[in-house]
Structure formats: C-alpha cells, structure tokens
Amino acid sequence: MKEQALEGKRRILSDAEAWAKEKLSRDSSGHDWWHIERVVRTARTIASVEQADLFVCELAALLHDMADEKLNEDPAAAQRELEAWLYGSGASEAEVRHVLEIIATMSFKGGARPPMRTLEGKVVQDADRLDAIGAVGISRVFAFSGAKGRPIHDPSVQVRLTMTEAEYRSGNDTAINHFYEKLLMLKDLMNTEYGRRLAQGRHEFMETYLQQFYEEWKGER
C-alpha cells in the first residue's frame, strides 16, 4: 500500500515534469526549463534539511511558472489549465490545494506580498529566489537584460532602491542596476534557515563579482 502510494507520487511528478518541459522548452525570458530544474533541485535540498513534504515541494516547484503572465498570453486560461491538470493528476485534494496556494502566493503581484503560510511554500519560494542570485542569478540578469536590449552598465544611471514594479519592468534599466533593485535584497527575504545559509554564500559571491566589475570598469584591475 505504501509502495503503491510512493509509486503514484513518482508518476505524478514525472507527468508534471514532462508537461513543464514541453511548455517551457521554448521560452527565453529566464523562465526556461532549466530554471525549473534548478528550482526543483534546490527545493529538494532545502526540503530535506527543513523536513518539509518533498512531494508537495517538488510538484509546486515544477509547476510554479506554468500560469505566469510572462509565459502566457492568457494567464486566466493558463490558471484554469493548471487547476484542471492538478485535479486530474491523481494527487489528493489537500495536496492540490496546497500546491495551488503556494503557486498563487509566489506569483502575487503588487506591494504587500502575503507571506508564505506553510513550510513547503517557504521552501519553494526560497528555492525560486535563490535561482536569482549567485553565479546563476548573475547569468540570468545579463541574459534578461540582453534580451530586452538593455546596457550592461551605465555609470550615470542612478541606482534606485525604490522603483515601482512598472518602472522596474519597463524602465531604462541596466543589468547592474538590477542588482541594487532586487538581487542584493533577496538574502534578507529568505524564509528558511537553510535557505538563508545558501543565500548568504551566493550573496557574498555577487558582492565579490560587483567589486571586481567596478575595478575592471575603471581600469584599475
């Protein structure tokens, strides 16, 4: 019986993986399949240390971008598709509700973002945020900026920590500015103890990177 339940969960996860892979394999906005795979792996790592429900964490990580407005012309239709998929997946109703709640809270837009209610939500949000910092995070910033045709750096662009979401999405922003708008703040937003530890290492790597960047920029190194 226990074996059967485990086997069922494995099958749901591999179905979710196949669906996400198919849908995201053609994306170039930084929400590609490899982002999902990294978030899943990091979520697994944090979940085992924090003793969270691995199945819920992994399923939410796999599906967390499926209804994202950046990936869907019609996010409401994508949300309905996500719900239908989950309810037909074989996961229990409690698991489906939990996964949907995690995804909805993660992608909440606007000022006062609600905090994650459950440990599993905290784990998956930490894993997603961790993918925006460190060596991988640095790569994603430049990939995103390049795709938008924005410059790497402009010393005359004032670093602003208080840009609105709209300014921040459309602005005459540089890749380097994005570190100050967002990336350097993420380590203080971690939910879990282990997530915070991982974030600390990645944060220090970004600070080292920026320091070297400015020295090279000035011809001093």
Q: Which residues bind ligand ADP (CB under 6 A)?
A: 30, 70, 128, 132, 137, 140-141, 144-145, 168, 173, 175, 178
Which amino acid is present at 81? E
CB of 217 to Ni ion, least distance (A): 30
Partner that binds at residue 125, options ligand ADP, Ni ion, none, CB closer than 5 to 8 Å by kind = none
Identity of the residue, 145 or 192, whose beta carbon is nearer to ligand ADP in the bound complex: 145
Least distance (Å) between residue 144 CB and ligand ADP: 4
Cα 194 to Cα 46: distance, rounded to the nearest angstrom: 6
User: Residue 62 Cβ, how far from ligand ADP at the closest point, in Å?
Assistant: 14
Q: Which is nearer to Ni ion, 128 or 173 (CB)?
A: 128
* CB closer to Ni ion out of 95 and 128: 128
Minimal CB distance residue for Ni ion: 128
Q: How many CB atoms lie within 10 A of CB 8?
A: 15
Helix/strand/coil percent split, the chain, to 5: 65, 0, 35
Rounded Cα gap, residues 157 and 179, in angstroms:
13
Q: Is 95 in the site for Ni ion (CB under 5 A)?
A: no
Sole binder of Ni ion in the list 50, 58, 128, 173 (CB under 5 A): 128
**How far apart (Å, rounded) are the C-alpha atoms in residues 148 and 146?**
5
Residue 192 to residue 78: CA distance in whole angstroms: 30
Q: How many CB atoms lie within 10 A of CB 221?
A: 10
Q: Which of 79, 145 has the CB closer to ligand ADP?
A: 145
- Tell me which of ligand ADP, Ni ion, none is bound by residue 134, counting a contact when its beta carbon lies within the kind-specific cut-off of 5 to 8 angstroms: none
Query: If you search the block for the tokens 């005359």, which residue do you land on?
Result: 156
Residues near Ni ion (CB under 5 A), total: 1
In the bound state with ligand ADP, the residue whose beta carbon lies nearer, of 3 and 73, is 73
Closest distance of CB 167 from Ni ion, Å: 22
Rank residues 91 and 176 by Cβ distance to ligand ADP and give the closer one. 176
How does 116-133 read in b/e, with b if 16+ C-beta sit within 10 Å? beebbbbbbbbbbbbbbb
> Which of 165, 137, 76, 61 is closest to 106 using CA atoms?
61
Residues that bind Ni ion (CB under 5 A): 128
